Structure formats: structure tokens, C-alpha cells
Amino acid sequence: MSPVILSAAGAALVLDDSGPGLPRVRHFGAALGPLDAPLPAAVVAPAFASPAPPLLPAQGDGWYGRPGLSGVRDGEHWPVRWSVDRLEARAEPGSGGTVTVTATDAQAGLSLVSELVMDEGGLVRMRHAVTNTAPSPYRMQGLVCALPVPARAGELLDFTGRWGLEKVPQRREFGYGVWSRENRRGRTGHDGTGLLVAGTGRFGFRSGEVWAVHAGWSGGHVHYAERLPEGVALLAAGELLDPGEVVLARGETYRTPWVYFSWSGTGLDEVSARVHGHLRSRPLPVRPVTLNNWEATYFDHGLDRLLELAERAAAAGVERFVLDDGWFRHRRDDRAGLGDWYVDEGVWPDGLHPLAVRVRELGMQFGLWFEPEMVNPDSDLAREHPDWILGRPERTPPPYRNQQVLDLARPEAYAYLLERTSALVGEYALDYIKWDHNRDIAEPVHDGAPGVHAQTLAAYRLLDELRARHPGLEIESCSSGGARIDLGILARTDRVWTSDSNDALDRQAIQRWTGLLVPPERLGCHVGAPGDHITGRSLPLAFRAATALFGHMGVEWDLTSASEAELEELATWIALHKRLRPLLHAGRVVRADHPDPSALLHGVVLPERAVYAYVQQASRLDMAPAPLRLPGLDPAATYEVRTAGPAPERALLPEWAAAPVRVPGAVLAELGLPAPALRPASALIIELERV
């Protein structure tokens, strides 16, 4: 065969375009080096198994698993057999490239455009577009993107979760048949898969060969792994469509969201780094330390109290003040007012200007909370426009949190939300919006058809238009915490709220696993109150701050109740974050496969600097803690090692923690540092500088 090869950063995707039909994926994994001659057919064609799957697998290609495309046409059924009209490839060895394939099946009345892109970091993204070319409607049932994985990928990792405890990992054998994660919540979900990973047995962060897939879509979605007895396996993902949700008239096209594929020969960290590199291709401004007033005041919007909170925040080094829920008409609790996006004149007789002006006088940016996609039945908007609720007009969908969902695909509702949010951004020169989405979508019906697809696209358009009107505006995606975290929403927002739980012990795991997909500068990580508002657990400030340090740091705590000593310590941690911010928000995230299950060791590394956190989560079994083998360093370099930030309470620190020491990178990686003996819920920050 004469292969089409995309390669970058040690990864390669090899396509066989010799036909018939769509190109077949012969390899996705490690770079194969220069291939100056065609690959012998005897090497790439298995003798007894089904052939390698094409870009869009179908039975006509010898694939008897789930089809890549499924749909029906009224009155007759035509299995699809694609004939390639054009293949355009632009391969830049070592830097990736693009492949675009145009194909048709005249008898089935369909045409196809498939796009593949490998970026310079080795991340692959793919999407398909199917157009109906026949007179009769084509009812799309499913269209996914898939890439094969080899037989040695024998283990699966994916994630589940709930409100306040997102991204809980689960592992299983990659056996025969289909392991499918399907989401019908109308948003990505607290139990959203994030990355579905297949790998060699017992793969870790720094070991094993792994393949991963992610659908960049914020509505219904599916991720699945499938293995056939013929010896072929694949990972696939795409939008999950309800029956009748997408019906293509002649000339109409359905396009999948981008689906992302990442490979690593050295564990999960490299898979993660490829995704982080993609997100970092859209640069962000410096990430201001942010205070959100929600857990400090809830719906109590007394101006004097908020001003005192702002003054204490500024004194501690906070750079952005965000006013959360409760500022708009009729909103004294969560039972009324959603949809009435006008400043409540009874609470704010002079508008939000007194607060906004003072916040800026204190040197901070000003941000505001919205939940545009939702409405309370007890609101002026719902009373005036009950037909704007997403659902059938004959009956209201089941309520949740006293909310219903607005039908954003309805032009009048969309226009109202765009006008109101844009007007408030303009009036108060908002620097930042916290954009919330606080319920799953139940019984979504738009114009008599399933409505999640249209709703998701409308939400994207609304965000895009708002940003176009206000180019400097930053937007945070919040969804009951971490229920809408995906590369679709991250393409149009600047950070995600990782979880509504600020419990630092739970946050260590939530941030660790959410961080597989999202780099630190886009992860909202706040210092919560001494007693967490969700779990009730009391944790020391040093541990809460050390946990928030490794993200987009913020505060979610009533600082008016904090002691002077607490404020001074908080200011010390914020100053440390600001000093480390150029490293934390640009470096490569590394996570050690630490042998002690009661502890974590993770860090961020640049060529000249690095910072790590050694986290004792629970009581350890061993009398002596395991050495700290620091991953990601240059073995040929020498580093000066020192601790950073306030020391954890009642810790037994080793000799190296008393004064800076110089240690070769190879020693730090192989022998490691003697570990401190920490109490549970403690962390030690270790800073390194190349010398």
C-alpha cells in the first residue's frame, strides 16, 4: 500500500487509500519513522481477521460491529457503500497535517466529507458531514468518529460521578462486545466520561501504552469501546441523537462535533499533555485570582457586607470579584426570578454601580453570575412567555430546582437573552461572566421534535455572539459545578468550575482526574471555608490553599469571618500562586504513580523550573513514607530543591527541607527525595529551579 501518514510529537496515523471505499486506518499509535517505500501487503493485511476498519465503518467494509453511520430513509433502506470522489492530504512530517475525504453513494442518496487533523502536539481530531442528496428525507440515527486500537489494549478507564463528586475513575477489562457510556442529560453531566481510555494492562500516569477518545460536545453524547472476535477493536464517540432529532431534507447536512483522539506510549500524562497543548493553542490572558461571593453571602446582597468582603479580598491579593446569584429581580431565593435579567431595584436602588465602582477602586476586576438557559416558573418571563419553555406546549416538563429550561432555539427567546446579557455586560463593563446551567434537561421538545441538538447549537451561538460583541469578556462555564466540561464548551469559554464542592480532600481527586482533559489555568480551584458547605468536613487553611494552588486559584469563603492570622496566611498563599503562576499555567502537568495509595505526588514542569505537591490524604499504612520520585525532570540537569509556602502543621520534615539542596535530575527521578511524615489532609509544596 501507499500510505498517507500524519505524524507529530512521536505519534502517527497511517491511512491506506488504495481502496475500494474509504481509506482504512492501518495504524494509530507510535511514529513509525520514515516510510520511503510502500508497506508490503503481507505486513499490513491480516490473514484471518477482518480488514482494518475504514474512517466510517460499515458492514460493506467487513465491519460487523456498530456502524459508524446509522439512519433510515422513508420507504426504503440502502446500506451505504462509499465511493471516494476526492482525497486531499497535506502531511507535514513531524508537524501533523490534514486529510479531507469526499465520498458519495448515489444509490443511497448520501454524500460524505470526512476531516482529520493532527496538530503539532500529536492530537488527532476528526469529524464527518453527511448530506442528503435524494428527494426523500433521511432520518439520522447516529454518526460517530472511530479509530482502531491494537489487541494489546486490554484495559479500559472511564469516569462517572455526581453533584459535588465529579470524575470518579472506574476500570475494567476491555473484553469482547461493546462498553458504551451514553449521556441523555442534555448537558455533559456530572457523570460525563471526559476521556474514554484503552490501554495495556495496569497502565498508569507514567507507564503503559494508552489510547483515548473524547467527544467535544455539550449535549447528548456517546463514547464506546468495541472489540470483535475477528481481532479488531476501536474507540468511538459522537453525538447521541434521539429518534427524529435530525431529519435531513434534500441538500441538508448533518456535521458531527469534533471528536479527539490521543495516544501515548508512556502513560496518561502524555495523553493529557496532547489535549492540554490543543487547548493552549488559544492563548489566555493572565488568570486573575478570583473571589466568588456565593458561599460567603448566598442571597444576602447587602451592599455594606459585600463592600467589606471586597475590601478584605483585595487586601489578601484577590484580583477579581464576582457577584453570584441573587442580584436580579425577584431573586431572594432559588424559587423565583430566573429569566428576569434586570438588576433588582429594591435591593440595588442605584444598580450595581456602587459595588462595581468600589471593586475597581480596590484594583480588582468585576464579574457577574448568569444562568441564561433557565427560567423559574415564578418569574415575569415565564408568565409572559410560557411558550418559551423547552417542552411540549400541552404539558410542562418535570421541574428540578424550581427551574425549567428556556428553548434557546426559539428566535424570540434567543434574542431576548442576547439583548439582556449584552446590555448588562455593556452597562457595567463586565470583565467576566460566570455562566451557569443548573439542571439536566428533561423531556426536551423543540417544534415537536427532540430538542437537545438544537438547544446545544443555540447555546454555542449565544456564547459566540456575546464574545463577538464584547471581545475582552471572559466567560466561565459552570453547570452545577462540573456537569458541563468538554472541549465543545471550552472552545468558547475561558475556564470551567470544576465542582461545587470546595472540600479540599475531595477536590484533590476531582482536580486530578478533570485535569486529564483540562489544563490548570482553565480549572476553577477555590479556597473554601474552614468547614466545607457540602461535606461539613473541617480542614486546615494550608491544605485548602495548597489544593487550590494548582489551578486557576480563587476564594469561596466569607473573609469577613476570617481572623487576621487567617487573612495573613491566605495572602501568603495567594502571593505564592502569583509567583508560580507563569509556571503553573504554562508547564507540563505530571503525576507520579506513587506507591502509597494514601498519598499523591503531582506537579507542573517547565525546562527551567518545576513545582510539586506531596499530598497526604489519609493515614498511611507504612511506618516510613515512600520516597518522592519526581517525574518529568531532565535527567541530565541539576536542580536546586526547596520547599515553598507555609509548612504543614506538625509535620516531620527531612533534612533537605531545612535548606535548599542541589540534586541531579536523574537522582530525583530514580531515587527520589526522602519523604516528609505528614498528617492526613496535609500537603508539602516542593519548588525546583535548574542550576
Distance of CA 399 to the CA centre of its chain: 27
Is 634 a residue of the active site? no
DSSP 299-351: T---HHHHHHHHHHHHHHT--EEEE-S--BTT-SSTTS-TT--SB-TTT-TTT
Contact predicate 126/143, CB 8 Å: no
Residue 325 labelled as part of a binding site? yes
Residue 334 labelled as part of a binding site? no
Number of neighbours of residue 602 by Cβ within 10 angstroms: 22
Residue 263 labelled as part of a binding site? no
Q: Is 82 helix (H, G, I), strand (E, B) or coil?
A: coil
Residue 438 labelled as part of a binding site? yes
Longest dimension (CA), the chain: 80
End-to-end CA distance of the chain: 50
Contact predicate 274/260, CB 8 Å: no
The beta-strand segments (E) located in 362-412 are 365-370, 374-375, 404-405
What does the alpha-carbon distance between residue 370 and residue 354 come to, in Å, rounded to a whole number?
Answer: 19
Bridge-based pairing state of the strands 196-199 and 177-183 = unpaired
As beta bridge partners, residue 146 has 236
DSSP 532-592: -TTT--B--HHHHHHHHHTSEEEEES-GGGS-HHHHHHHHHHHHHHHHHHHHHTTSEEEE-
Alpha carbon of 618 to those of 408, 477, 598, 636: distances in Å? Answer: 46, 32, 5, 35
| Run of H or E including 79 | none
What does the alpha-carbon distance between residue 52 and residue 471 come to, in Å, rounded to a whole number?
Answer: 46
Q: In what order do the strands lie in the sheet with 11-16?
A: 3-8, 11-16, 24-30
Task: Given the residues 407, 431, 436, 503, select the one marked as catalytic.
Answer: 436
393: burial class by Cβ within 10 Å (0-12, 13-18, 19+)? Answer: exposed
What does the alpha-carbon distance between residue 493 and residue 475 come to, in Å, rounded to a whole number?
Answer: 5
Is 431 a residue of the active site? no
DSSP 220-248: SEEEEEEE-TTS-EEEEEEE-PPTTSEEE
C-alpha closest to that of 264 among 256, 273, 255: 273
DSSP 453-490: HHHHHHHHHHHHHHHHHSTT-EEEE-BTTBSS-SHHHH
Residue 437 labelled as part of a binding site? yes
Residue 478 labelled as part of a binding site? yes
Residue 434 labelled as part of a binding site? yes
C-alpha closest to that of 233 among 11, 45, 52, 20: 52
Residue 656 labelled as part of a binding site? no
Residue 242 labelled as part of a binding site? no
Residues 6 or more apart whose Cβ sits within 8 Å of residue 401: 334, 438, 439
Distance of CA 375 to the CA centre of its chain: 26
Task: Given the residues 269, 500, 503, 532, select the one marked as catalytic.
Answer: 500
**Annotated binding-site ranges:** 163, 324-325, 401, 434-438, 478, 500
**Annotated binding-site ranges for substrate:** 163, 324-325, 401, 434-438, 478, 500
Catalytic positions are 436, 500
